[in-house]
Chain A
């Protein structure tokens, strides 16, 4: 891991999340939820107005996480990354949260997009079986 990480900031519902730019293959335009590769409902919730999609590769396929918007990209130093406290990761219903980063002094959750997309697939093992740390 280099000293600076590029993060994609996106909005899902009322909250803002971050994801590694390397996990995003591209950003898609407005999609409809019934398309095969689209992922709407996840452990983070459902978008209100899915105007963007984050295309990721999971399980050898491209999947598109539907989000309300992509706010941009931001380079964040390594020092601003923090892992989740143990008791927090124990109580969370998903293993897709890699930690949080201080963005403009606001703690923002960093999401492991491939894990999140896999948790949403039919027959997935469940959010807690595979946890990936940043």
Chain B
């Protein structure tokens, strides 16, 4: 008799012995144990009734097992179809991104209920995730756009800042050079002021020496004046004496002339007398000639004395004027000395201040260089941030586009 599945069932038809019957039953059981539930024991062929009953029970068990296997196969088929539908739905979900519907299977099997429920829960979870991701993607896109705008603005600001810092650094470099120049000039001014002060002190000493010399000149002029007065008086006395001598010489000359005249009148007798008179007259003329020379000399001495007196008076006036001018010069030099001292002190202070300014300017220049370097790095970082922001915005857009593919409503 063919089985439900059409398979051929072997039956033992030949009566056998009891051992043979048992062996036949055992063979069928071994087949069942191996999963071949189509095998049956031919109970009619068995001699032993007990074994025949056993065989019938074995066959009925085989029938039951076979029926149960068919049921299980049917259910397995239904589950397979349900799984295929669920997988198709999941594939469609993944491929098409459509999460708007619910999973409905053509096969209804209680076994698939947890699966359907799980898939539905997964889809709901995915919907929620997709919604949240979509919102997050939108927010991310918006935020990344804002970040990009901010980064771009920051980059522009950083560039402007870098430009300003560069210009400031260049200006500070110029200021540094100017500070150097100012410091050198201040040092030169201080040196010149010191030289001026030293020269003014020398000038003060020179004026003091000049005034002392003027005082000596004035005293000497007074002494010379007194000496000239004495000399003039003595010359006058000499002149008086010379006048007397001249008068005597003139009278001697007159006497000699008269003597010579008388000698001449006396003729040959008076020749000797005439010779003596002539000699006397020659002597008198010599005296008069000498007195004339003395008078000339006295006249020259008077003129010289007068000139010396005038020169002495001039020296006294010049000395007094020199003392007055020296006093004025001393007063001026004292003022100049005070001013030069103040100038020297101020120049020294300016020199110190300019040195400090130069040092401070150099420090500022150094700091500006460091700031410029930091700003350059910040500019590079800002540029990188802008690039990263742009990349982030693109990624956000891509994410939004990808999430947009999922339909959830």
Contacts and interface: CB of A to CB of B under 8 A. Distances in A.
Interface of A: 6, 8, 21-22, 24, 26-29, 51-52, 70, 72-73, 75
Chain B residues touching A, range: 10 to 19
A21 B250 CA distance: 20
Nearest to B263: A73
Contacts of A27: 254, 257-258, 261
In order of increasing CB-CB distance, the 5 nearest A-B pairs are: A6-B264, A21-B264, A27-B257, A73-B260, A73-B264
Contact of A73 (B250, B251, B254, B261): B261
A51 to B, nearest CB: 8
Contacts of B281: 72
Contacts of B258: 26-27
B254 A52 contact: yes
Contact of B261 (A8, A29, A51, A75): A8
A74 B357 CA distance: 112
B208 to A, nearest CB: 61
B278 A72 contact: yes
Contacts of B265: 6, 21-22
Contacts, number: 33
Interface in B247-281: 250-251, 254, 257-258, 260-261, 264-265, 274, 278, 281
Contacts of B261: 8, 21, 24, 26-27, 73
A5 B43 CA distance: 243
A29 B254 contact: yes
Contacts of B257: 27, 52, 70, 72-73
A82 B321 CA distance: 75
Contacts of B278: 72-73
A3 B251 CA distance: 32
A72 B260 contact: yes
Contacts of A73: 257, 260-261, 264, 274, 278
B270 to A, nearest CB: 10
Contacts of A75: 264
Nearest to A26: B258
Given A27-B258, A29-B251, 10 more contacts: A6-B264, A21-B261, A27-B254, A29-B250, A52-B257, A70-B257, A72-B257, A72-B260, A73-B260, A73-B274
